[in-house]
A and B are shown apart, each in its own frame.
Chain A
Amino acid sequence: MKNKNLNNLIKELKKISLTVDEKSRLLAQLDAYSASHQPIKTPYYFSRPLTYTFACLSIVILIGGSTVFASEKALPGDVLYPIKIHISEPLKVALATTHEAKDRVRVQHIEERLNEAEILAVQGRLATTTVAEINDSVKSSINSIKSDLSEKNKDDLDIKMSAHSAVLKSIQDHSDDNQKANIQDVENAVRDSTRKDVKNNRVMAKEVKNKVKVIEAKDFERDTKIKDEIKNIDKRIEKSTKRSFKRDDRGRDGGRD
């Protein structure tokens, strides 16, 4: 009975509408407007992708190369971050000449999103909205390139994603509770994007060390506590990979569990 009343309210509200005369009058006015606002085809018409590329190049020239260069280090929330995402990165893809080169650049951008998440997590600044944006970006980028990648490149991508997963788990272990959940969300997105979980092989270990170096190299002003935390992450990963190397040397299969 109660839901019926709510449904009745919704039905009554939906009855509010234009009269036939009002609709006709409105359409006549819009007809006159559309007649005087026809689309104009310019003689200088370019294809849409080319137009965007020229627009991006023009913006780059106007703003100045130094600004674009400075945006390379920007993190979500920084003033220059939109320039990094919407100008610098699309430009790099556009300037790559072959299909394979474009895919390599796109993979770099996927990794950059995860680097940003890791750095923010170490800084304790990984917000829920940022997580949603990063996850959407990673998922859609991976979906757009996965079908085009060769098997070797797919394996490489899995190794990179597994390495990021390891780094995120390590950061999560030493984060505050409010950061733990956000880091877990990113790690879930990374795992969902990985075809196979690569554990404890030498290539992956090297990738992990590279990622930690990236986090260390980023120019952020933090106190020694954060830098010590990063060194601890590095040491823990080095310890676990040394154990895995010993297992590898003893002839066990360390490529896939």
Chain B
Amino acid sequence: MKDRFIQIYSAYNDSLFRYCFFRVSDRNTAIDLAQEIFMRYWDNLAKGTKITNDRAFLFTIARNIIIDWYRKKKAISLESLAEGNEDGEEFALVEDNAKGVLELSSESRFLFDKLKSLSKTSQHVLYLRYVEDLNIKEIAEILKINEGAASVRIHRGIEELRKITGYELP
């Protein structure tokens, strides 16, 4: 069990840290959240939870932990409360511009700002698909939707991005 844990930790620590980082915009907080994710993963291994896909399982834990974190911080904006989350989705790429967290080239900066202007649903699925290289089955498992719906969301996200940037995702 320990070997499996270390193997999984080595494989996914960067991905999970990055996912948390883009959600909370603070490096130390993202590290703390990543630690909590792996602790919960260990707890599930210890109690014998059947895990068919470690990566999808970890991202599901990550999503839940981040939602809890936001609720504790009461950082949900009035705007999102008023419009309601799309299917309960609270994802949005966050960046603390004052801290200059992300150092990107000018072209990348332009695209990243465009990415942040997409709907939350589109941001989330495009991030999981193209930055974290998750497949449709994994994305469906993480977002608790069926594969057809995940595929539709990705397609819509690509269309949305194409409309505002003229760029095509593969």
Q: Which residues of A contact B (CB under 8 A)?
A: 2-3, 5-6, 8-10, 12-14, 16-18, 22-23, 26-27, 29-30, 33-34, 37-39, 132, 136
Contact = CB atoms under 8 A, between A and B. Distances in A.
Interface of B: 1-2, 5-6, 9, 13-14, 17-18, 21-22, 31, 34-35, 38-39, 42-43, 45-48, 102, 104-105, 107-108, 111-112, 115, 130-131, 146, 148-149, 165-170
A12 B5 contact: no
A2 B166 contact: yes
A123 to B, nearest CB: 23
B102 to A, nearest CB: 8
A136 B108 contact: no
B46 A26 contact: no
A39 to B, nearest CB: 4
Contact of B167 (A2, A17, A26, A33): A2
Nearest to A38: B46
B16 to A, nearest CB: 10
Most-contacted residue by chain B among A9, A37, A132 (CB, 10 A): A9
Given A3-B168, A5-B107, A39 B14 contact: no
B131 A39 contact: no
Contacts, number: 83
Given A13-B131, A23-B13, A37 B111 contact: no
B128 to A, nearest CB: 12
Contacts of B115: 9
A31 B31 CA distance: 16
Contacts of A37: 42-43, 46
A26 B36 CA distance: 10
A39 B46 contact: yes
A22 B31 contact: yes
B108 A14 contact: no
Contact of B108 (A2, A9, A17, A30): A9
Given A6-B111, A9-B108, 11 more contacts: A2-B165, A3-B170, A6-B165, A16-B22, A18-B34, A26-B13, A26-B35, A30-B5, A30-B35, A38-B46, A39-B48
A30 B31 contact: no
Contacts of B148: 132
A170 to B, nearest CB: 27
A14 B102 CA distance: 12
